[in-house]
Each structure stands twice: as C-alpha cells, then as structure tokens.
Structure 1
Amino acid sequence: MAKYTHEQLCLFAQPASETEETKLERAIEAVKRALGNSDIILSDKYEIFGQGSYANNTNVRNNSDVDINVCYTAAYYYELPKGKTKDDYGFSGNVQYSYSEFKNDIERMLVAYFGRNNVIRKNKCIHIQENTYRTEIDVVPTWEHRTYIGENNDPYNFYRGVKLWSDDGEEVINYPKQHKNNGINKNTNTQKRYKRLVRILKNINIKMADSGFYKNINITSFLIECLMYNYPNNALATSIYDWNSILQDVIRYFWNKTREDCYDWYQFLENSEFLYLMIKHKWDRSDVHEFMTKLWIFLEY
C-alpha cells in the first residue's frame, strides 16, 4: 500500500492558496513601488519581472516566496561566437556604470522603502523580510546578457538572458524568461501534468525533511522543476491518471538515468534549454540518484 492515495497526491499538486497568492502579488507590487519611488536610477533603464517558482506557477502551499528580477537594460554583458571580437560587431566605448553600483543602488532603494531592519543583503540577492501583509521576497539585481549567434556578425542576432555577479565574485548567467515560456509549453503538451508533478515532488521533499526521514540541501526547488522538465512529454501525457503510477515511472526513469554506468544525465538541460542542468551546479548525479532511492522508500513503493 502506497504511503499516499491518489487523492492525497492531488492535494499536493495544487498551487498556492488564494490567501498566499494575494500575499505574493502584494510583494511584487511593493517592490515595484520601492523602485518606482526613487530617482537613483531612471525607470526606463531597468525591467522588473518575476522568476522562480512563483513566476513559473510551481510554488507550493505554505512554502511560497517571491523571486523578483530587477534587470538593468541600459547596458549589457555579451558573449560572442568563437573566433569573433567586439570589433567584428562594431562594439565600442566603455560603460561608466558597473554591476556592483547597480546592486548597491537597488539595495539603497529597498532600504529607503522597507527599512534597514527588513532588508538583508545576501550573496546573490537582496532579501526582504516577511510580514503579515506580504511574503518574503528575494530581489535579484541583474544586467541584460546577450549571447550572439551565427557567422554574419549580425548585432541583432542574439539570445537575451540575464547576468549577475555574486558578492563573492561568482558569475551567474541564466534565462528566466525562456525558462518560464518552456515550462508553459511543456505543461500544455503533458495535459497540464508537468507543473502538478513538480508541486507533488516539492511537497514530498518537504515532508521527507520535516519528518526527519531525508534531507539533502542540494535537492532544491529549481533542481526538481528542471529534472521533471527532462522527463519525456509522451510518457507523462499518456500515463494512466494515477499519481502513484506516474511517480513510480518517474522515479524509475531518473534512477536509471543517474546510475554510475549511465551517462544520459550529462544531457539534462535546464528549462531554458540553454544550460546543462548537471554541470557547474552544487548538485551532482549521486544527489539525484540518492533522492530517487529515498523517494521510492518514503512513498512505500
């Protein structure tokens, strides 16, 4: 007998409650007001958008926070095709404003609006404390990042992403908008099971940790969402609609793909499909393999 019934797993699959959604929406509006009320940087020089579980509609009940990307667009980082130089693209001049100055300015704006006691600067983001009116918020300052493609030196032929520098000097490039759009498409192509499956696994991971059964800090919300993105659409869409059967198939799939003698996991992609999921991250193959083993035992399969 499985630990949870299909009906219980259906509850795990549900998005955040209406009350939590309201707090999340208030958080986003508060950040927009905080930045909009300041003249430190001009409003037409940056873009504000949600990223992470909330923006991707994979957040779970009682564990929802908001990640808000504040992207500077008046200048950008870039990556050119191999063998190309900035002269090939006609790039010239130096930007007088830096990423670190931008992050400092964003922090000052948030402190001015929310108060110093409610704002904590972290390595990659600026954290705003939760209160009774809003949920906690991570504001992520980024700059636009362009990856140029093709051989004809076309300055308009590029993929647009974002880039940040952590306070300890790490360079991070990602593509949150592509991540969101690809997740929407996968959900549509799997009878809307993809995001439900992600929420189920996030909830189960929380329950394993809360019960003292298993906790691995490398098994993040982002990792779970991207892992399930790599599960074949046809397998998820055509499965019998029984969550225990689906979970068993999913666990078997990733357990086999992450064996020591199998190298398919090298090809796993983040949802954006621009970056590899299992390369240059804090998790590795063994984390995922162990997670699948623990899931099977915890769910009493």
Structure 2
Amino acid sequence: MGNLVDWEAWLRSAAKRPSDNEESKRDRTEQQIRAALDDYGPLSGKYRVYVKGSYANNTNVRLNYDVDVAVEYTGYFYSDLCFDLQGHDDSEVGVYASYDTYSREDFKRDIKAALFETFGSDAIEIGKIAYRVRENKTTLPADVVPSWEYRRYDRIDAWGDPVVHVGSRVYPSTGGYKNNFPKIQVTRGTEKNDRTHRRYKRMVRCLKKMQTRLTDAGVLENELPSYLVECLVYNVPDSLFNNSTYLEDFRKVVGAIWGSTQPNGDWGEWEEVHGLHYLFKGSFAGMRADAHTLADKAWDEVGIE
C-alpha cells in the first residue's frame, strides 16, 4: 500500500501541530463555552472550566477536531483513601464530600440549560458523559463534560502524611463513575516530551495519523481511542526516541509497542500517562491485542525491514 511513499517526509508532516487557524478555532470554541456558562445565573460561582484531552496535551492532529471542555463543580470534592498507587482498581474505599443540597443532577441540568440558551437545542447532542456542541464556521465541535474534583490519597510520605493526587470524576448517565487525572497527565506528558527532545508528542501524532491512514484504507477495522494511542507511545522507553531521522524514531516506537503487547510481553506493567492506573487493567482492559495489531500493521505499512 505504501511502497512508493517517502516515509521520512510523511512522518515529518504527520508530526506537525495543527495549523494556526485550527488553534484559533480551538480558542474561540473555549471562549464561547465559557461565555455561555458565565451568562447563566444559576451557575454563578459554582464551577471552574479547563480544556483537557488531546488539545490540552498538545497531541492532537490535524482534522482531529474534538475539544474536551471540563466544567468542574467547586462546591465539594470526592476522595478515596487507598494506599495502592499502581494497583488501585478504582473500587471506592471511601467518598467524602461536604453536605450540599445542589445535586449532581442539578449541575448537569444547569449546564445543559446554559448551552441550550446560548447555542439552541438543535446544536446540542446529549451523550452519556458530555454535551456535544456542534461546530460552526469559526469554532470546533466541543464535548462539554460536567465534572467534580476527585482526590486520591496514596501511601504515606516521609512526614507521615498521605500523598494526594488531584483529579477529576465524571458520572455517566448509565450509572457509576470514572476517575481521571487530566492535569497530572499534562505535567507528565510535558516532562516526557522534554526528556525526548520533543519527539514523544511528535511520535504520538505520527501514530495517530498512521492509524487513520490504515483505517481509511481498510487495513484496520476500527481506530483505537486517541488517549490509548498516547499512552502506548508514553510507555516506550525514552532512550528509543531522538534518533537521526523520524523514520528511525517511528520504527523503534512501533517496534517497542509490538514487542511489549505480545501475549508474553510486559504490557501488564504499562501505565496510563498520569501513572496512577495500569493501562490494560481498567478502561482499556481487553484491548491489548488491538494495540498489538496497530503496531503490526503500522510496521508493515512503512516497509520496515
């Protein structure tokens, strides 16, 4: 399929950040969401807003338009006391929140009402976790995610105090909840990018673009979640990045993913970017073989010997 491709040139193009025009659209999208919430009186003083996901982590690729906007309630927080940093399975040990008559459903209802009031009901799609705001000529589509602060207390430090990791909790309409750590993810991703002389995030974009290429060609049936691709590249050792060519970087990244995701590989020890969940023991359980297939097909596509 790709024998006549100049892969070094292709990878250098794929590694680039989105255009200035798309970045401007991202900024306008966030501004419009903030303005819609600010203009809705019942929400006044109750929330904070921040962008998360691939845009916040600077791993988005061109034509990957989703902007994830967290709207986090500030009236109380949830917490767990677990003392098991790597093996924690998100089973609830204890939840602590101050008494507050403003319920989760109240918060979701008011966010939806604010978006309806500004954009109109026809522009909003209601999902399990987020309200999706349709794009227009000057903005990108946005997933507005009602969230609550979550604090995970792990282990004891040298002074006898628990170590706290501040994250975010969401409550899907189907029940239960999910915890994540978007701000820690940003910090750790930036640190790895610095250690690899900017090659980490470039290779994330390359693998995302390669996955799209293979899916469009029918080589892959479905694309893996964007965040899973980011995590796969994150687990590749730093020493395999920053080679003389992008093709050599890509070869070593894909090879490392391929080797580690074999049935007898060390994939069971791989972590999410924030370092607080095992990669294939939570949200991505059962997807090890899919990750291996992506690496295998990417290897074949660029004709690596």
TM-score, scaled relative to structure 1: 0.90
Asked if 1:143 corresponds to 2:148, the answer is yes
Report the counterpart of residue 201 of structure 2 in structure 1. 195
Q: In the TM superposition, what is the alpha-carbon distance from 1:77 to its structure 2 partner? A: 1.0
Identify the match of residue 181 of structure 2 among 171, 175, 194: 175
Superimposed CA distance per residue, residues 18-54 of structure 1 (whole angstroms, 9 cap, x where no aligned partner): 11111111000000000111111223x3111110111
* Structure-1 residue corresponding to 2:238: 233
Among candidates 83, 102, 117, match of residue 97 of structure 1? 102
**Between the two proteins, what is the percent identity of the paired residues?**
31
Counterpart Cα distance in 2 of 1:12 and 1:252:
19
C-alpha displacement of 1:224: 0.7
How far apart, in 1, do the equivalents of 2:115 and 2:152 lie? 30
Distance 1:117 1:251, change over 3 A: same
Residues 258 and 286, structure 1, Cα contact 8 Å, conserved in 2: yes
Residue matched to 2:78: 77
Structure 1 residue identity aligned to 2:287:
D
| C-alpha distance in structure 1 between counterparts of 2:235 and 2:227, whole Å | 13
Pick one of 92, 96, 111 that aligns with 1:106: 111
- 1:197 Cα shift? 0.5
- Whether 2:265 is the aligned partner of 1:259: answer no
Residue 29 of structure 2 is aligned with which of 24, 27, 34? Answer: 27
**CA distance in 2 between partners of 1:78 and 1:97 (Å):** 18
Equivalent in 212, 215, 221 of residue 226 of structure 2: 221
Question: Does the Cα contact within 8 Å between 1:16 and 1:64 map onto a contact in 2?
Answer: no
Length-normalised TM-score, structure 2: 0.89
CA offsets, 1:202-224, max 9 Å, x none? 1111111122222324x111111
CA contact (8 A) 2:156 2:162 kept: no
Which of 192, 199, 205 is the aligned partner of 2:211?
A: 205
8 Å contact kept, 2:267–2:280: yes
The residue number in structure 2 matching 1:299 is: 302
User: What stretches of structure 1 of length at least 5 have no aligned partner?
Assistant: none
- Larger CA deviation: 242-251 vs 186-195: 242-251
Indicate the residue corresponding to 1:13 in structure 2. 15
Q: Which residue of 1 aligns with 2:60?
A: 59
May I ask how many residue pairs the two structures share in their alignment?
292
